[in-house]
């Protein structure tokens, strides 16, 4: 009998020691592994890499999170999954998606912005146009339907573009490639890098006054109220993942991205990361001192006001206090990680 008790005590001691060791190694408080669904707005690619990194290197796990990424794509409406409770977080390309939800009384809230600059751009054949405004003379501009209700009205008001120029963009480069005077929408980190026959001229909207954030994280407003700790852990772990991705070893993240999207090659992924860094999309502006994911509420309010000016929203129909919060960012999370990686 005494032997059985002694054996049980030894097992308990080993279990406690393992638990303590795990907590010391992670530097985190004890958390059960909360299952978290995270939907992206497009197929796996380099501009989502920090989230894949946080899975690959165990960062989410250290923060008590078991994260499953649900891919988006041209025929996949992942946006509907968030308010329906099918996922807990959503990656959005623009704050306008959340503002539209707010106008429609769909309770979602922006909690982080991983790109301080929007990589949305127009691209053209080399030497055809010197500046963004020159493209108002282009005979055709290939853009998708969502763009017509987001940044296209801004281009019309600010630079004189016309709806007569619009041709449907069906997520293929072929029409653009065969028409030398044409213009096509592009992400500076994606389509602009996929042209094999020539190097296109790329005009990123952010360089011409477009102040939208990008790579935005949204969640349900009720999750913020009911489980703010979960939201904070997801945001913090994502910030650490992005620092490790941008400044550390990305090989494991690349492997996971390619599992989800075999069309991506390591060369394409490296080119995307290089463009993110060259253009200062993530680690610039407020993110330099406040950490990745930083949000400036005044800046977002200014963006909202500009969208009112271009006619996308009416004054007073959006409540910015419920559409966005900065309570989970601007805390300097990840700054020490970046510093350590840069000194290696």
The pLDDT mean for the chain works out to 91
User: Do 193 and 279 form a contact (C-beta atoms < 8 A)?
Assistant: no
Across 165-192, average pLDDT: 95
3-state helix, strand and coil shares in percent for the chain, rounded to the nearest 5:
50, 15, 35
Per-residue pLDDT band at 77 (split at 50, 70, 90): confident
Residue 174 has pLDDT above 50, yes or no: yes
Q: What letters, b where the CB count within 10 A reaches 16 and e where it falls short, cover 136-171?
A: bebebbbbeebbeebbbbbbbebbebeeebbbebee
Final residue in a domain of this structure, among 169, 187, 208: 208
Q: Which of 141, 173, 208 is the C-terminal boundary of a domain?
A: 208
Mean per-residue pLDDT, 248-277: 96
Find the range with the poorest average confidence among 115-129, 185-199, 242-256: 185-199
Instruction: State residue 112's pLDDT score.
Output: 98
CA 108/CA 220 separation, integer angstroms: 4
Model confidence at 269, pLDDT cuts 50, 70, 90, reads: very high
Which of 208, 224, 256 terminates a domain? The answer is 208
Answer whether residue 318 is part of any domain: yes
Residues 150 and 229 in one domain: no
Range(s) of the domain holding residue 300: 31-117+212-342
Q: Is residue 296 part of a domain?
A: yes
Tell me the three state secondary structure of residue 248. Answer: coil
In a domain? residue 334: yes
Answer yes or no: is 270 within a domain.
yes
Angle at 212 between CA 189 and CA 108, to 5 degrees: 105
Nearest to 213 by CA among 127, 332, 118: 118
Percent of the chain surpassing pLDDT 90: 86
Do 183 and 141 contact (CB within 8 A), yes or no?
Answer: yes
| Total count of domains within the chain | 2
Task: Quote the distance between the C-alpha of residue 335 and its chain's center.
Answer: 19
List pLDDT tens digits, range 117-144.
Answer: 999 999 999 999 999 999 999 999 999 9
Q: Percent of the chain at pLDDT above 70?
A: 91
Whether residue 100 is found in the same domain as residue 229: yes
Lowest model confidence (mean pLDDT) among 25-39, 75-89, 117-131: 25-39
Same domain, 268 and 187: no
Inform me whether the pLDDT recorded for 14 exceeds 60.
Answer: no
């Amino acid at each position: 009998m005494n032997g059985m008790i002694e054996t049980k005590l030894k097992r308990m001691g080993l279990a406690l020691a393992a638990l303590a060791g795990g907590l010391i190694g992670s530097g985190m408080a004890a958390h059960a592994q909360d299952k978290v669904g995270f939907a992206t707005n497009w197929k796996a690619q380099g501009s989502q890499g920090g989230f894949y990194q946080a899975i690959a290197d165990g960062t989410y796990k250290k923060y008590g999170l078991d994260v499953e990424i649900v891919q988006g794509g041209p025929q996949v409406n992942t946006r509907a999954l968030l308010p329906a409770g099918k996922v807990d977080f959503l990656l959005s390309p623009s704050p306008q998606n959340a503002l539209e939800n707010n106008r429609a009384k769909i309770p979602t809230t922006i909690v982080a912005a991983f790109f301080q600059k929007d990589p949305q751009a127009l691209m053209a054949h080399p030497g055809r146009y010197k500046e963004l405004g020159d493209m108002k003379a282009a005979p055709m501009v290939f853009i998708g339907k969502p763009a017509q209700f987001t940044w296209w009205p801004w281009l019309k008001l600010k630079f004189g573009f016309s709806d007569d120029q619009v041709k449907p963009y069906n997520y293929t480069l072929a029409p653009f490639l065969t028409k030398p005077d044409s213009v096509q929408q592009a992400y500076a980190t994606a389509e602009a890098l996929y042209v094999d026959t020539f190097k296109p001229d790329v005009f990123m909207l952010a360089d011409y006054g477009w102040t939208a954030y990008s790579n935005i994280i949204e969640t349900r407003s009720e999750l913020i109220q009911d489980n703010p700790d979960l939201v904070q852990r997801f945001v913090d772990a994502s910030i650490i993942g992005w620092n490790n991705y941008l400044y550390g070893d990305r090989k494991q993240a690349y492997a996971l991205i390619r599992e989800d999207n075999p069309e991506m090659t390591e060369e394409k992924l490296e080119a995307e990361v290089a463009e993110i860094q060259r253009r200062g999309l993530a680690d610039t502006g407020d993110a330099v001192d406040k950490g990745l994911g930083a949000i400036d509420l005044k800046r977002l309010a200014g963006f909202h006001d500009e969208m009112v000016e271009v006619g996308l929203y009416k004054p007073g129909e959006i409540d910015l206090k419920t559409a966005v919060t900065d309570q989970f960012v601007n805390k300097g999370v990840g700054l020490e990680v970046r510093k350590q990686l840069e000194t290696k």
